Amino acid sequence: MRITIRQTEDVEEIKKLDLACFPTDQREDFSDQEMWLATVDDEPVGFTAYKLEGGVPTITRMGVVPQARGMRLQVRFAHVAAQAARRAGFALIKTYVRADNLASLRNLIRAGFVPVKTWVEETSAAWFINLEKVLTKKA
């Protein structure tokens, strides 16, 4: 089994994976985002994307199809996005997770993100947790 993660500009492939991973969520506009695609033996299985929000790179989506879960792809995606933000000169990267998504929360903490704030989305009454990771220069 060969797992690869590469940067992509294929918005349509990312949209297909987004629908497969988050069928009931509002669709994300990926046209202005940096995106990465994960494949297992050349089959697309997951993605991540970030964009600048208020001048800070923010991971907007991280999805892994059910059959590829358990391969630590989310942790790898978080590292890839953080490395790209660091290379671009940023000192911080942010993301969020639903408070009831404990697997994702654990993965983000494993990747070095720290919870900083909780909030409630008014339209769904769902609780979310904002997380941040300080990006340090490699020695």
Q: 39 pLDDT band (50/70/90 cuts)?
A: very high
Task: Say how far apart CA 14 and CA 48 lie, in whole Å.
Answer: 8
In 10-106, which ranges are E strands? 34-40, 43-53, 56-64, 92-98
Enter the CATH code of domain 3-134. Answer: 3.40.630.30
Kindly state the average pLDDT of the residues 28-46: 96
CA atoms lying within 13 Å on the CB side of residue 92: 11
What pLDDT sits at residue 65? Answer: 96
Report helix, strand or coil for 57.
Answer: strand
- Residue-wise pLDDT for 59-86, tens only, equals 999 999 999 999 999 999 999 999 999 9
The answer to whether 62 and 77 are in contact (CB under 8 A) is: yes
Kindly state the average pLDDT of the residues 23-50: 95
What are the structural domain ranges in the chain? 3-134
pTM of the model: 0.90
